[in-house]
Amino acid sequence: MNNLVTIRLLVNRISQIILGACFLHTCAFGADAPIAPTVDQMLSYMGIDPNQRKALMSGEIIYKEIGDASDKELAVGLVMFVKASPDKLADYVTPEKMFKRDTDTTASGELTGAPADKLNGMKFSADEAQSLLNAEPGSDLNLSTDEIKQFNAARKQVTDDSQIPTVAARTYSNILLGRLRAYLKGGLNAIAPYDRDGNVTSPAKQLTIALNASKIVSQHFPMMFNALLNFPNDQPQGIVNRFFWSEQNIEKHPTLILSHRSSYMLPDAILMADRQFYVGRTYNCMQRLAGCFPVQGGSIVFYANRTNTDQVAGFMSGMKHGIGRGQMRDEITKTFQQVRAAIQ
């Protein structure tokens, strides 16, 4: 699996979305908000039997098989009990603090509102900048055909090698801004595919598949499902959408990520989604869903991660998926344990 994907970096900032779900319980709910399923109903939907429920409330983190939705997807689901009220989590889970705690995140910012100036200031080494300006179709970088042309055109404008990092950063900023504006206007349908030298990889298609495979959301939180599927349309009262960029070190390369975080508040539950609709390299996109339900003595947290990567498809796909899911499960479980220890 070392040659397939860096699993730890696929599941980074898990604590942010998990605890964010709990934190948002402190927000006000609309008077006409729909009724969420009870905790018992949610545990039943996930197939957690009475013995597992006892183990869950005793501190065991329960892993549930949720099924890969495509040959390029790694899917993992877990449930845990946290002995902490939502109020206790509030200060711990602000996005700014969570980015600071993530040692793999080198830069980040919120793009909600007017984003143009917020994407300035990127910095690349001379070698990284040169590789961007020399971009070509393939699997090294996640770029559309037009974005590759933008980098190649920018390279022709360089008259001195000292200009390369600045030109590459400016070009990438414009590309990210273009992707963000397209997504804000057209949602999933507006996400440009990655050029794979004769083929394409479509994050829009893969994120749609991942969402359709999330049966608990589609069947029991249909308003949240429709809001995610049809964004920016069909956004009901109670939905809060925020947008972020981050730069992370993935396989020793700076990787730019654009994400859409959506929360749906109900009187007795909160559901959150973190959709990475652009990832600069290594994997294609990611959908993370988390639900938080208050119970006596704390909160029950449900979490599902669907990561899409070309590197688990093709020859020996079954083995790659098995190894990848196992590594993701172990890494997420470890992160859950760290989160719980920090807040209890």
CB 107 within 8 A of CB 246: yes
Would you state the pLDDT for residue 30? 46
List, in sequence order, the alpha helices (H) in 187-242: 203-212, 215-220, 222-230
Q: Residue 253 and residue 136: Cα distance in Å, rounded?
A: 17
Residue 287: the pLDDT is: 95
pLDDT at 8: 45
- Predicted local distance difference test score (pLDDT) of residue 29: 44
Both tokens assigned to 290: 């988390």
The pLDDT of residue 17: 52
| 257-309 pLDDT per residue, tens | 999 999 887 777 778 899 999 999 989 999 999 888 888 888 888 889 999 99
Cα atoms in the Cβ-side hemisphere of radius 13 Å centred on 170? 10
Q: How many CB atoms lie within 10 A of CB 34?
A: 15
Residue among 197, 193, 204 nearest 139 (CA): 197
Helices of type H across the chain: 7-10, 14-23, 39-45, 50-57, 86-89, 95-101, 126-133, 145-156, 164-186, 203-212, 215-220, 222-230, 317-343
For the purposes of burial, counting CB atoms within 10 Å of the CB of 179, is it exposed (0-12), middle (13-18) or buried (19 or more)? buried
Torsion over CA of 197, 186, 310 and 312, rounded to 10 degrees? -170
C-alpha 311/C-alpha 193 separation (Å) is 17
* Positions of the chain with pLDDT under 70: 1-36, 85-103, 116, 121, 314-317, 344
Query: What φ, ψ does residue 283 adopt, rounded to 5°?
Result: -125, 170
